[in-house]
Amino acid sequence: MKDLYYVLMKNNLGNASTCRKLIKQGKITVNGEVIKDHKYPVKFSDQIIYQQTILKAQPFTYIMLNKPKGYICANHDLKYPCVIDLITNKDCYCLGRLDKDTTGLLILTDDHSLSKKLLLPSNHVIKKYLVEIQKKITNNLKEVFLQGIIIDHNIKCLPAEFEMIDDFHCYLSISEGKYHQIKKMFKSLDNEVVNLKRIEFGSLKLDERLKEGEFRDLTNQEILSLL
């Protein structure tokens, strides 16, 4: 939920002080009622009206992108194309990062507080990946990943959930976001990641109808599940 004055700002009615003033002057109605509290908590379903115009109650943009290979998770780069080039709202930035050669689910948003919350290491948001490996794997790895793999010589990863698909494919769910984590985990096991695709981020699943490079807005239900 967002403060009413913030929603007004996002609807381009002025800066914070102008928007608070509009509310204080009784110029804004929420669901037909004049609201004079600038911190009134707005819900998606609220109908907010200013001068006979309905304002958007959702002031932020939340995008699901199926990231293609070759793009870096940044807004500007001199050398490589950036994921921001693929979407229309250029005020957004990536919620977490995927390597240049990783594909799949990437969230882009302009909601700083959501990114802060979801990226907080203590929140342990689960990220699930589809992994293709160079050398044959066995189901014994389930226990090994649960014990916590050591990477970078002495850094112990948190327990990860390994699900074998076939000799060269598995799902791996991790609750951290260390640099090149999955690649390093398999390297520690004397193996190598050939292809990596993120398919889940917290409660969110990659919409498989999105081809690589395509994106869509999150639905209200998807947004609420992340908040």
- The set of catalytic residues is 99
For β-strands 53-55 and 48-50, DSSP reports them as antiparallel
Measure the CA–CA gap between 118 and 131, rounded to whole angstroms.
Answer: 23
Of 196 and 206, CB closest to ligand URA: 196
**Which residues, numbered 185-204, are part of the site for ligand URA (CB under 6 A)?**
196
> Binding of ligand URA at residue 180 (CB under 6 A)?
yes
Rounded to a whole number of angstroms, the minimum distance from the CB of residue 127 to ligand URA is 7
| Count of CB atoms situated within 10 Å of the CB of 130 | 19
> Binding of ligand URA at residue 183 (CB under 6 A)?
yes
For β-strands 193-201 and 103-109, DSSP reports them as parallel
58, 103, 181, 191: which one binds ligand URA (CB under 6 A): 181
Measure the CA–CA gap between 203 and 152, rounded to whole angstroms.
Answer: 29
Site string for ligand URA, 94-123 (x = CB under 6 A): ----xx--x---------------------
Measure the CA–CA gap between 145 and 188, rounded to whole angstroms.
Answer: 11
Rounded to a whole number of angstroms, the minimum distance from the CB of residue 220 to ligand URA is 28
Rounded to a whole number of angstroms, the minimum distance from the CB of residue 180 to ligand URA is 4
The CA-atom distances, in angstroms, between 115 and each of 102, 125, 184 are: 20, 11, 25
Binding site residues, ligand URA, CB under 6 A: 98-99, 102, 180-183, 196
